[in-house]
Each structure stands twice: as structure tokens, then as C-alpha cells.
Chains A and B, each alone.
Chain A
Amino acid sequence: DAGVTQSPTHLIKTRGQQVTLRCSPISGHKSVSWYQQVLGQGPQFIFQYYEKEERGRGNFPDRFSARQFPNYSSELNVNALLLGDSALYLCASSLRTVGGTEAFFGQGTRLTVV
């Protein structure tokens, strides 16, 4: 079975640009969450989507947005990129909301903002 897949794996963008990251969850999983991991830190929660509805949002500015599609795949958009947005962006897939079930991560998208 395919695990969580994320694309692209690496990305370099210029300050002020916009970026879209993509995630396909494990087959049968209806929840997708996004996390940001800065070097040397643990992942920080950005969003959770379950059944195509936003179920949670972390402490991130409105420049960050996301959506979930009918096939449960998801996109994370970041506008007006800042140098501080450079990080590993992780997508996690779970059967339902995270509390009470395992969450599995993809390999991440490494975003570098220059």
C-alpha cells in the first residue's frame, strides 16, 4: 500500500512569491494535517482537514491556507513568502481526527525561501 505522498520534495522560492504544496493521504484515510518543522525543532501544527472541512488551525498567519479535495488529497498554500517560512512541511494522514488513531507522515517538502 502506498503511504502518504507529498510533492514536490524540494522547492526554492524567492521572498514575496507564493507556493503550493500537495499531499495524498493513505487510501481510506479521510483526515489530512499539515505541520511546519523548522530545523532543530519539533513539527508545529498548521491545519487539520477532515471530510473536506477545516477542523483545526494552529497559530500561523493568514498567509497560510489549505483545502481538501473530494478524493481527500490536500493542498497547502503560502502567500507572500518570508525567509522565516523556510522549513520542512509535513503532511500527516489519519483515519479520522488525530485523537484516538495513528497519524502517518509523508517524507515532507523542503521549502527554501531566498
Chain B
Amino acid sequence: QKEVEQDPGPLSVPEGAIVSLNCTYSNSAFQYFMWYRQYSRKGPELLMYTYSSGNKEDGRFTAQVDKSSKYISLFIRDSQPSDSATYLCAPVTGGGNKLTFGTGTQLKVEL
């Protein structure tokens, strides 16, 4: 079993839709949770960074962590065609030295 599981998609939604992107993980030591957005043939761009359980909002993006069920979510409100990219979750242990990435979910927002 992989430490981080993520549905690879592709996920196709109409412009303006609410998008839910999810990851599950198995390592209880994960304490910090990052979400990256990666456009085709580019490096990952840090979107959000949360610590422990709870929600964090940043504009149209909301990150949610449920440590009891080892479930991570990223919600995108009012999705735009410019949101079309691959979204990667990457948890890390406290004081850890590496990000453990899921496979990424490919999102396409259509006009």
C-alpha cells in the first residue's frame, strides 16, 4: 500500500463548479499537509499549507484535514479554466525531511 493515495482522474467539470480533490494516507506521523498545483511541464506550485486537523481557507481554495480518518481534501469554489492543472497532495512528518506525494489528480475546467 502506498503511503499516500490519490485518484489520478482526469476530472472534468464546467466553469463555476465546486471541485473536491481528495487524498488518503496511512502514516499517522504526518503532521503537515501541503497542496501543490502543477501545470503541464512545469514545477509544482505551492497552493496551501496546513497543520494538523481542521480547515484553512485562502480565496477560492479551502484545505481540509481529518487526521482521525487520514483524509485530506482541497475544495475549489467557482472553478475557472485557469484552474486546469494537476493537483498534488504532499503530507510530511513533523521535522521530516521529505514530502510524500500522491500521484496527482488531473483537473480540467471547461467553458
Contacts and interface: CB of A to CB of B under 8 A. Distances in A.
Interface of A: 4, 6, 33, 35, 40-45, 48, 50, 55-56, 58, 88, 90, 92, 97-100, 102-108, 110
Interface residues of B, number: 29
Given A99-B93, A99-B94, A110 B41 contact: yes
Given A40-B103, A42-B88, A43-B44, A55 B95 contact: no
B98 A33 contact: yes
Given A42-B103, A48-B98, A98-B98, A107 B42 contact: yes
Contacts of B16: none
Interface of B: 4, 6, 8, 31-32, 34, 36, 41-46, 49, 88, 90, 92-104
Which of B41, B49, B103 has most A Cβ within 10 Å? B41
B49 A105 contact: no
A55 B32 contact: no
A92 to B, nearest CB: 7
B95 A105 contact: no
Which of A4, A48, A55, A100 has most B Cβ within 10 Å? A100
16 contacts: A33-B98, A33-B99, A42-B90, A43-B88, A43-B99, A43-B101, A45-B98, A50-B97, A56-B98, A88-B43, A92-B99, A97-B96, A97-B97, A98-B92, A105-B45, A110-B41
A72 B77 CA distance: 39
